[in-house]
Amino acid sequence: MSTPAPAPEAALAVRQLNHAWATRSVLEDIGFTLPAGRAIALVGPSGCGKTTLLHLCAGLLTVQEGQIDNRFARSAMLFQQPHLLPWQTVLGNIALGLKARRTPKAARLAAARRMGHALGLDDIALAQFPGELSGGMQSRAALARALVLEPDLLLMDEPFAALDIGLKGQMHRLLLAEMARRQLAVLMITHDVMEAVTLADTVIVMAGQPGRMVWRLDLPLPPAQRGDDWIYRQTSLLLAQPAVRAAFNMPAALAPASPPSASSALPATPADGCAPLASGSAIAAALPAASARC
């Protein structure tokens, strides 16, 4: 399927964003830039404002203070629940957004079928109703419904949270293939720090009420080159950071049996709007400027 490449200047820029629900401030001084083809994962404890931030970025809420500049041409959103229409076939569900765009029937069904096939839904599954599919297949259908719109920005709110570890891995591979295929940018919320380290180029840890960015990790390897060991290592290093542990209200980490080797260190890439890390611990030494307190 030929897909339009994102415009070179496509990016989502969030600057000095504050938000309140009624009189209660829920987001304070949020700022980051997401360029085409990159992925940012937002992690943080319940109630720190991640969903509010994602909905602001999606244009579902009005910006009160600060700026969100979305230069992507086509955004799509994926929710935790697949939200498939039970009275439509899976194929019909995948084609829904194209119908809303008034794509002619034959073309939208053909595009939906191609995308379904690409995500592992065969013709039998496509002809079924959502209630006849497993949770994993429903998640594939929801992803297909979003991707068939050929978005250049995909906003995801814990879309794989209900899946077991094997299905999650499958969905990760499907998503990464699609991201690589056509420079798809992703802004995602997840409670799973390892999922964030698997999929994202940048992990932003949020905490507090109002929610603030408390830590940022820019991962130096492209997702396609990350092996399981590397992902486990980066996840454990991130979770060893005192600021990250405090964000999740975790007790202080035990000292490692041996200091991390130099080869596990991340190269220095200064983080926008983040102060350099100021810590003398061995673990902090393995995470120089690529991982920083915001």
Ligand X SMILES: Nc1ncnc2c1ncn2[C@@H]1O[C@H](COP(=O)(O)OP(=O)(O)OP(=O)(O)O)[C@@H](O)[C@H]1O
- Residue number with CB closer to ligand X (61 or 265): 61
Q: What is the DSSP letter of 241?
A: -
**Residue from 49, 82, 92, 130 in contact with ligand X (CB under 6 A):** 49
**Residue from 14, 52, 93, 203 in contact with ligand X (CB under 6 A):** 52
Check binding of 64 to ligand X (CB under 6 A). no
Which of 204, 153, 217, 158 is closest to 179 using CA atoms?
A: 153
Q: Are 46 and 52 in contact (CB under 8 A)?
A: no
State in angstroms the smallest separation of the CB of 188 from ligand X: 12
Strand runs labelled E in the chain: 11-21, 24-35, 39-43, 65-70, 75-78, 153-157, 185-189, 202-207, 212-218, 291-293
Whole-angstrom distance between the N-terminal and C-terminal Cα of the chain? 41
The stretch among 45-53, 65-73, 166-174, 269-277 that binds ligand X (CB under 6 A) is 45-53
State in angstroms the smallest separation of the CB of 55 from ligand X: 8
- Residue number with CB closer to ligand X (48 or 214): 48
**Residue from 1, 4, 7, 47 in contact with ligand X (CB under 6 A):** 47
- Residue number with CB closer to ligand X (89 or 202): 202
Check binding of 51 to ligand X (CB under 6 A). yes
User: CA-CA distances (angstroms) from residue 248 to 27, 44, 239, 243?
Assistant: 17, 7, 9, 9
- Residue number with CB closer to ligand X (46 or 249): 46
Q: Are 49 and 19 in contact (CB under 8 A)?
A: yes
Check binding of 62 to ligand X (CB under 6 A). no
| Contact string 21-40 vs ligand X (x = CB under 6 A) | x----x--------------
Cis peptide before 210 (omega within 30 of 0): yes
The residue ranges that bind ligand X (CB under 6 A) are: 21, 26, 44, 46-52
